[in-house]
Amino acid sequence: MVKVYAVTLVAGIVGLLVMILGGALAENLGRDGRDPGVRFGLAGKTAVGAAVGFGMGGMSAEFSPLDLSWQIALVIALVAAALSMVWVRYSAAPSEQR
């Protein structure tokens, strides 16, 4: 399961970098339509947040000093993904209303 968490975390971080750097590039070029945050909207931001949360939660649970089974680590990873999705929706809501 560690490999699943690691791949998901890397994919989430790459998605986060694409959102940040793509938004900066679109802003500098004056093309708001090319901004990944605008193009993919709240659903895309939520997906990136879920991937990062799932990967971080799973890796943290797997490498915990406690001897957790893979089932408990999976539950922790799913809870982390759900909480990160809630946080992305909460934090991005003011920018989505503009």
Residue 32: per-residue pLDDT:
81
- Percent of the chain's residues with pLDDT above 90: 76
Q: What is the DSSP string of the chain?
A: -HHHHHHHHHHHHHHHHHHHHHHHHHHHHT-GGG-HHHHHHHHHHHHHHHHHHHHHHHHHHHT-SS---HHHHHHHHHHHHHHHHHHHHHHHHHHHT-
* Span 38-82, pLDDT tens digits: 889 899 999 999 999 999 999 999 999 998 999 999 999 999 999
Mean pLDDT of 7-31: 94
